[in-house]
Structure 1
Amino acid sequence: MAVDQLTSSPLTKDQAYALVDAVMERDNLALTASAHENEETGEWFFEAGCESPPNVGAFVQLAQQTFGMKVEFSVAPIDPDFNWVAKSLEGLAPVTAGGFYVYGSHEIGPVPGGLTAMKIDAAQAFGTGHHETTTGCLEAINITLKRKKPRRMIDVGTGTGVLAIALAKRTNKTVIASDIDPISVTTTVDNAAQNGVGKQIIALEATGVNHPAIKQNAPYDLIVANILAGPLMALAPSICQIAGKGATVILSGILQHQARGVINAYARQGMVLSQKLQRKDWTTLILEMP
């Protein structure tokens, strides 16, 4: 499959992230979407990886709808022989968050003592531990497990399975890990086995929490969902429906300006905000069901 990189003309940071959110809510418009800052100029750009040729007109129209401004896009082919995974791994140093140590198989240094280690390689699924949404969740998990011992847990939108694996390692209990993407489900199974918790992770392909096994295992004491603000708000009724009394819900993938909307969506379902963690532009929420 030929892949092209599509790059926007200069944007503000908020515009770049808003366009990422808008693109990720559309099916088949892009394979990947991200926002990047040019450290020399301070300008922000939107980038997307697309099957060649990309529908540039659709991106122009979406930008106009999202923030009312015409944006120009340039397209460049991605060399199919270039090892993008290896290149990306060069800058992926181990991550420490919430007492967890997340590293890739390329890391040759010793694992520090006193930390819960997880080997997670870059793959076709989100979650190597490097993004602020993932580190925020790991810290929120650490905070939660210090004050309660959940028996039934689920990670919604599991990606690489990193959060489900973190829960399984810390609690030594079974964790359901669900994702709408079958590649994520396969990746989670592989990562769970690699980290010695293969028998503790139940990986399911599901849209949100719509799966018989998820409903049969409810209610849950701890629910984690690191997705995006829009889907999180849409999932509020169904997530709260499977939450037991006194349950904790950890939500991430939320930009700071989106946090209030997510909090309100869950407050309407009876959830109460317990704690808010902020990492750069991203917010992780810890909510409680009274």
Structure 2
Amino acid sequence: MSVDQLSVSLTKDQAYALVDAVSERDELALTASAHENEDTGEWIFEATCDSPPDVAAFAELARQVLGGEVEFSVAPIDPEVNWVAKSLEGLAPVIAGGFYVYGSHETGPIPEGLTPMKIDAAQAFGTGHHQTTTGCLEAIEALLEQRTPARMIDIGTGTGVLAIALAKRLEAVILATDIDPIAVTTTVENAIENGVGDQIDAVEATGLDHPEITARAPYDLVVANILAGPLTELAPGIGSITQAGGTAVLSGILNTQADGVIAAYEAAGFALQDHLKRKEWTTLVLEKN
């Protein structure tokens, strides 16, 4: 596969705003990220795309999001390079709730009082930097201060970051599922790297009818950081696998989409407990009636 990198220098806020916008357009890019150039102090937006990228579509999106013209540069990426890792390798550690998420390139000390998770960039979503992930980690932190779940499932696990967060805090086994076999493999590898390999069972599953999912139901905690559309479609199924009094932590939802997702889960027997907003993104905490 031929892959190109599209980039431009912007302010920090502009770079992150464009990352968020591109993340909602699956057809535009394989990955999108923002990082600071340590030599110049400039912030760089980068997108990794199938070659050739749709530069006109990027320019139009930039006009909509940033309100002005943006001139992108395009360069080919060596096919031997892991382009996902390359695009994300400069990301700084993230503190969300009581968790500290960092990559293996980070050599600084781990802050005291935080639960560390080493999550390297990989061909799966979830390094901890996106507001959807930080929102989920903050919601999990708040939930664990109130009670101790026993039966948990992470739907659309990506790199396994949310399942690993739970495993780090609890003496329990977490079921982690994803439709992408690369995500399943990545989750297993990350679980082992973080010392919780025996606490996470990762399976490839489309929807919620996988035998492993139904056999372990009902769950007292369901976490799902995917997208508003799939979350809405899964509402009845998540309702059926969540026990009474159980909690669902949902993200991957734009603020403008939150009301629709809330309505779908209320119809499935949930009541809204908390609504966290991080920039343009929403994390919902709901309880099964």
Structure 2 length-normalised TM? 0.80
**Matches of 1:196 and 1:225, distance apart in 2:** 23
Which of the numbers 54, 71, 76 marks the counterpart of 1:78? 76
The answer for the alignment partner of 1:257 in structure 2 is 256
For the 8 Å contact 1:236–1:266, the answer to whether it is kept is yes
The answer for the alignment partner of 2:288 in structure 1 is 289
1:32 matched to 2:56? The reply is no
The structural deviation recorded for 1:208 is: 2.7
**Matches of 2:104 and 2:5, distance apart in 1:** 27
**Matches of 2:81 and 2:104, distance apart in 1:** 20
Equivalenced residue count is: 269
1:222 matched to 2:221? The reply is yes
The answer for the alignment partner of 1:138 in structure 2 is 137
1:89 matched to 2:128? The reply is no
The answer for the alignment partner of 1:280 in structure 2 is 279
**Matches of 1:93 and 1:280, distance apart in 2:** 19
For the 8 Å contact 1:20–1:35, the answer to whether it is kept is no
**Matches of 2:46 and 2:82, distance apart in 1:** 19
CA 53–94 in structure 1, closer or farther in 2 if over 3 Å, else same: closer
CA 77–107 in structure 1, closer or farther in 2 if over 3 Å, else same: closer
Q: Secondary structure at the match of 1:154?
A: strand
**Matches of 1:126 and 1:111, distance apart in 2:** 23
> Aligned partner of 2:214: which letter?
K
CA 264–14 in structure 1, closer or farther in 2 if over 3 Å, else same: farther
For the 8 Å contact 1:157–1:208, the answer to whether it is kept is no
For the 8 Å contact 1:89–1:122, the answer to whether it is kept is yes
CA 226–215 in structure 1, closer or farther in 2 if over 3 Å, else same: same
The structural deviation recorded for 1:17 is: 5.8
> Aligned partner of 1:183: which letter?
I
The answer for the alignment partner of 2:244 in structure 1 is 245
The structural deviation recorded for 1:270 is: 1.2
For the 8 Å contact 1:4–1:75, the answer to whether it is kept is no
The structural deviation recorded for 1:252 is: 0.5
**Matches of 2:156 and 2:260, distance apart in 1:** 20
Gaps of 5+ in 2: 8-15, 35-44, 62-70
CA 48–152 in structure 1, closer or farther in 2 if over 3 Å, else same: same
For the 8 Å contact 1:30–1:49, the answer to whether it is kept is no
The answer for the alignment partner of 2:156 in structure 1 is 157
The structural deviation recorded for 1:255 is: 0.9
Structure 1 length-normalised TM? 0.80
CA 194–16 in structure 1, closer or farther in 2 if over 3 Å, else same: closer
**Matches of 1:88 and 1:16, distance apart in 2:** 12
CA 225–257 in structure 1, closer or farther in 2 if over 3 Å, else same: same
The structural deviation recorded for 1:212 is: 0.5
The structural deviation recorded for 1:3 is: 1.2
- Percentage of identical aligned residues: 59
The structural deviation recorded for 1:107 is: 1.1
The answer for the alignment partner of 2:189 in structure 1 is 190
